[in-house]
Structure 1
Amino acid sequence: MGRTAPPIVSFRDADLLTHSDALHSLYVSAFCVPPWNEDEARAVEFLGRLASDVRRPGFTAALAFGGEEVLGFATAWTTLAPFPTDRCYPQAAAGLGPERTVDWLCGAREIDELAVRPVAQGTGLAVDLLKAMTDDAPGGRSWLLTSVQSTRAMSFYRSQGWTQATHPSPEGNGSAVFLSPHHPARHLAAQPL
């Protein structure tokens, strides 16, 4: 007997913000624990960013519902040129180099956040949310950054056929770039030594 997947609802604009309380709660349950160890201030900052993110070109989001409760969410948008220089973007650019950064990431769908409540982890919901974010990516080009300190996240993306394109030291606080299974440059990514 197959699993019954929770319904996933897509958003392309500020209508997502009507679910801010649920997104805040979910963010806290997913990211204010190890290995992320974020605090309440970061969760509030996420909501502030989200209010701007919904206006980004190519913005898309997906929420998975279990009854009235939001069990998981994902957000994404199109990475524009010039390549951003805030947050963890400089690590991505340093790992890829300027030419690959522009060629591989600019114009592609950037998966920004993917979170599932602990009660729904291991159910395949993260797979469904990731698929909802990438199925219609332009030219199959999707990418994301994740912390190398989260072995669970790193393993998850690899298990879904994503290719790690940068290889910061696992002992550090680095972020790794992953290219989606249909990204045309995934076979060009340097593999670890």
Structure 2
Amino acid sequence: MAVALHRLPGPGLLAHRDGIRAVYAAAFAGPPWNTEPADADAYLERLADDVRRPGFAGAVALDGDQVLGFATAWTSATPLPGNRAYPRVTAALGAERTTAWLCGGLEVDELAVAPAAHGRGLGRTLLEAVTRDAPDGRSWLLTSAKADATVRFYERLGWRQATHPAPDGYGTAVFLGPHHPARTALVPPQ
């Protein structure tokens, strides 16, 4: 069966929650994430709230009824929240650049493809599906700078790392999307 990609509103994405949980658990089981099955359950709980965020976009890749991958994104709050990795991001970029580059932009929260489905272009297609409506091309994401294959994947797609080194040594890196206007202001690492 051919893989079908569907861009879905929140309730439509949640209809695939069991498959999303399985992909999340498999995709993030290895280093540097080393997630446990309970982490996938916690992600589903968070996703149930995330689908109500302003500007939410979700996409799922299906082979029949089987979820092979998914992506989620939403419009970033102004200012960025004070939880998760956001304070480290603001410290690394500075308040002015954080506001100008990230706030009000489209934040890619999750992108995951089942390991057995790697190499089929699903990650690229899912990422494009959730970022295509980014305001003024302002899409961005956080990932682990320690995830070498993931970093190379984003770089191949034209995403550029905005934080060098990663904030506070945590290994979290901010990437700006290929159409983000601030890409020209980025200084490459030395």
1:37 to 2:46 alignment: no
Secondary structure, in 3 states, of the residue corresponding to 1:16? Answer: helix
Partner Cα distance (2:163, 2:138) in 1: 16
Secondary structure, in 3 states, of the residue corresponding to 1:185? Answer: helix
Secondary structure, in 3 states, of the residue corresponding to 2:77? Answer: coil
Distance change in 2, residues 1:5/1:79 (3 Å): farther
Aligned counterparts, 1:166-181, within 5 A: 166-168=163-165, 172-181=169-178
Aligned letter for 1:103? A
1:13 Cα offset (Å): 2.3
Partner Cα distance (1:154, 1:91) in 2: 19
> What is the aligned partner in structure 2 of residue 190 from structure 1?
187
RMSD of the alignment, in Å?
1.7
> What is the aligned partner in structure 1 of residue 50 from structure 2?
53
TM-score, length of structure 1 as denominator length: 0.93
Partner Cα distance (2:158, 2:174) in 1: 14
Unaligned 5+ runs, structure 1? none
Aligned letter for 2:118? Q
Aligned residues: 190
Q: Deviations over 1:7-32 (max 9, x none)?
A: 11111222321111111111001012
Of 116, 119, 124 in structure 1, the residue corresponding to residue 121 of structure 2 is 124
Partner Cα distance (2:172, 2:88) in 1: 7
> What is the aligned partner in structure 2 of residue 98 from structure 1?
95
Partner Cα distance (2:166, 2:158) in 1: 22
> What is the aligned partner in structure 2 of residue 146 from structure 1?
143
> What is the aligned partner in structure 1 of residue 9 from structure 2?
12
Identity, % of aligned positions:
53
Distance change in 2, residues 1:173/1:180 (3 Å): same
1:111 to 2:108 alignment: yes
Aligned letter for 2:148? T
> What is the aligned partner in structure 2 of residue 66 from structure 1?
63
Distance change in 2, residues 1:18/1:169 (3 Å): closer
Of 72, 77, 100 in structure 2, the residue corresponding to residue 75 of structure 1 is 72
Partner Cα distance (1:182, 1:5) in 2: 30
Unaligned 5+ runs, structure 2? none
- Aligned residues of 2:2 and 2:63 also touching (Cα < 8 A): no
1:28 to 2:25 alignment: yes
Secondary structure, in 3 states, of the residue corresponding to 1:93? Answer: helix
Aligned counterparts, 1:158-173, within 5 A: 158-168=155-165, 172-173=169-170
Secondary structure, in 3 states, of the residue corresponding to 1:35? Answer: coil
